[in-house]
């Protein structure tokens, strides 16, 4: 329980993003004793439902119900809904609604999230990277909201991304194709990979499939799930926060395909390659890069001995 006393605020765009992109991370933070606050910007109003809705039930209502179940599985202690509408992809029906997140006053939302983070004494914020992970307008918007909140609070910040070398079956590939854009980052631009053991993976699988209105379980075959979803990737800025203190397990699955170069890990002004401990680390925490023979870098955040 080495993260007792730490509070992490994770900001996401749509119900299911929390499970797909940060399911292992949130579960591991909670298991380590951190208080996890999940802030959801929209209800995912524009997603259609792949299952029948109850009489009078809206897609948004169903998705919030699914989110509540997912949040419970991931150890979230407080779920906050910002109540904005799904912006949809440009040119699709439903875009341009006055309540859409992408058309909202993002500065005001950033202040709201900062106030929440302050009230919660959050030391760590998690939100999308500046490309919106795969370019969806709501994800780009949550980046801006999160970045402003982090600026206002001074909390450690971790920007959610994905490794472009990720497995073919990952749901973000399908989402990026729908958005007609790219996704993620090359491995050398990723600071941190958080990985899970089979127990964490089972929770992540359950959390993703809790979003039954959106995700067909047949798209998450058990035989491929670990290889596809065992890693979650972040870009890190500012002081080291709670994710740096998630020690182990060794991320054996993090082997970006087709790359021969080592990952370079930036920790503040330090550039760390190989297994040398970080010298002069102002945070008191050390990162090291684990390189197994014959393949690519495996990255772990470890605590000093």
Write out the residues near Zn ion by the rule CB under 5 A: 13-14, 17
Beta carbons of 103 and 144 less than 8 angstroms apart: no
Beta carbons of 46 and 92 less than 8 angstroms apart: yes
Q: H/E/C letters for each residue in 75-99?
A: CCCEEEEEEEECCCCCCCCCCCCCC
User: How many residues are present in the chain?
Assistant: 305
Cα→Cα distances 169→183, 212, 299, Å: 14, 18, 22
- Min separation Cβ 56 and Zn ion, Å: 25
- Min separation Cβ 142 and Zn ion, Å: 9
Q: Among residues 42 and 153, whose Cβ is nearest to Zn ion?
A: 42
- Min separation Cβ 134 and Zn ion, Å: 8
If DSSP codes are grouped into helix, strand and coil, which group holds residue 263?
coil
Q: Among residues 156 and 208, whose Cβ is nearest to Zn ion?
A: 208
Q: Among residues 17 and 66, whose Cβ is nearest to Zn ion?
A: 17
Q: Among residues 17 and 287, whose Cβ is nearest to Zn ion?
A: 17
- Return the structure tokens found at 15: 């119900």
In sequence order, the β-bridge partners of residue 301 are 287
- Min separation Cβ 17 and Zn ion, Å: 4
- Min separation Cβ 51 and Zn ion, Å: 19
Q: What burial letters (b/e) apply to 53-70, b meaning 16+ CB within 10 Å?
A: eeeeeebbebbbbbbebb
Looking at beta carbons, which residue is closest to Zn ion?
14
Q: Among residues 20 and 194, whose Cβ is nearest to Zn ion?
A: 20
């Amino acid at each position: 329980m080495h993260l007792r006393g730490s509070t992490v605020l994770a900001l996401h765009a749509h119900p299911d993003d929390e499970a797909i992109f940060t399911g292992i991370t949130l579960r591991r933070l909670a298991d380590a004793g951190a208080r996890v606050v999940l802030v959801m910007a929209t209800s995912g109003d524009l997603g259609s439902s792949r299952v029948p809705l109850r009489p009078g039930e809206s897609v948004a209502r169903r998705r919030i119900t699914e989110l509540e179940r997912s949040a419970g599985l991931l150890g979230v202690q407080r779920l906050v809904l910002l109540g904005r509408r799904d912006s949809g992809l440009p040119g699709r029906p439903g875009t341009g609604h006055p309540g859409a997140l992408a058309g909202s006053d993002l500065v005001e939302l950033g202040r709201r999230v900062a106030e929440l983070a302050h009230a919660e004494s959050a030391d760590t914020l998690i939100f999308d990277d500046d490309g919106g992970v795969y370019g969806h307008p709501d994800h780009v918007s949550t980046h801006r909201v999160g970045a402003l909140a982090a600026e206002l609070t001074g909390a450690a910040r971790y920007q959610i991304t994905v490794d472009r070398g990720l497995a073919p079956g990952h749901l973000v590939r399908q989402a990026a194709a729908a958005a007609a854009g790219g996704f993620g980052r090359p491995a050398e631009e990723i600071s941190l990979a958080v990985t899970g053991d089979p127990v964490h993976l089972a929770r992540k699988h359950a959390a993703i499939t809790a979003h039954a209105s959106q995700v067909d379980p047949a798209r998450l075959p058990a035989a491929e799930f670990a290889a596809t979803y065992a890693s979650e990737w972040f870009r890190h800025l500012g002081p080291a926060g709670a994710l740096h203190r998630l020690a182990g397990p060794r991320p054996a699955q993090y082997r970006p395909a087709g790359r021969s170069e080592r990952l370079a890990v930036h920790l503040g002004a330090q550039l760390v390659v190989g297994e040398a401990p970080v010298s002069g680390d102002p945070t008191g925490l050390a990162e090291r890069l684990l390189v197994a023979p014959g393949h690519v870098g495996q990255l772990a955040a470890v605590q000093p001995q």
